[in-house]
Amino acid sequence: MDAGLCMDEFELLPFVDGKGISLKTPPQVSFEKYLEHIDQTCPTETSMFYGLHTNSEIGLGTQQCEFMFEMLLELIPREETAGGDNSDKQRSDEMYISKCLEDWNIKDKIFSLVDIKDKISGEKDPYQNVFLQECEAMNYLLEEINRSLVELKQGIKGVLTISERMEDLQNS
């Protein structure tokens, strides 16, 4: 039995029926011709090849991106003082963080929704409603950032005990 006959017009992508993507085996040819066939006719790999919905690629891409950035963060060298004494480094980190907290005035960035609503004349269309909702959501986010930074500042000053979350924020 000839191996080439078994593979004549064999569909290599069985999960994409009716989706306009096809990859059939070439007739029996040399190895170089097989490579040439693969380079010229293979469509870009997609999740449909495996019977998955195209949105599954979004989840995969997100996971790969998160993993890559976690690895990059782990690769960032942490400076340590010689002899294992980290008190000087910790003090300089705390001074740097305190300076940053003083320089960043998050409360000035919060939107005044009353002023924005007053500037919108007439009846609000859907885009303006979404804009106002996004401004409100951003205000909640900015208030939380401000709260956590104030909490961290109090922890650095010794007013509060530094929790694991505050430590993570400090390291970030």
Mean pLDDT per segment of 10 residues, for the chain of length 172 residues?
Answer: 53 67 74 81 73 79 90 75 57 73 80 88 86 93 89 85 86 78
Residues 28 and 90 in one domain: no
Residues 94, 100, 102, 107, CA torsion sign: negative
Nearest to 140 by CA among 118, 110, 172: 110
DSSP 8-state code for residue 48: G
| Domain contains 111 | yes
Structure tokens at 120: 């919108």
Residues 24 and 87 in one domain: no
Largest CA distance in the chain: 84
Q: At residue 47, what is the residue type?
A: S
**Could you list the residue range(s) of the whole structural domain that residue 31 is in?**
3-43
Q: How many domains does the chain have?
A: 2
Residues 88 and 153 in one domain: yes
Residue with tokens 């919060």: 110
- Enclosing H/E stretch for 88: helix 87-103
Q: Which pLDDT belongs to residue 1?
A: 42
Structure tokens at 28: 């029996």
What is each CA distance from 28 to 10, 86, 122, in whole angstroms? 12, 68, 73
| Domain contains 48 | no
- Enclosing H/E stretch for 149: helix 126-157
| Domain contains 160 | yes
| Domain contains 51 | no
Residue 89: other Cβ atoms inside 10 A: 13
Residues 100 and 37 in one domain: no
Q: Which pLDDT belongs to residue 18?
A: 64
Residues 112 and 166 in one domain: yes
What is the reported pTM? 0.46
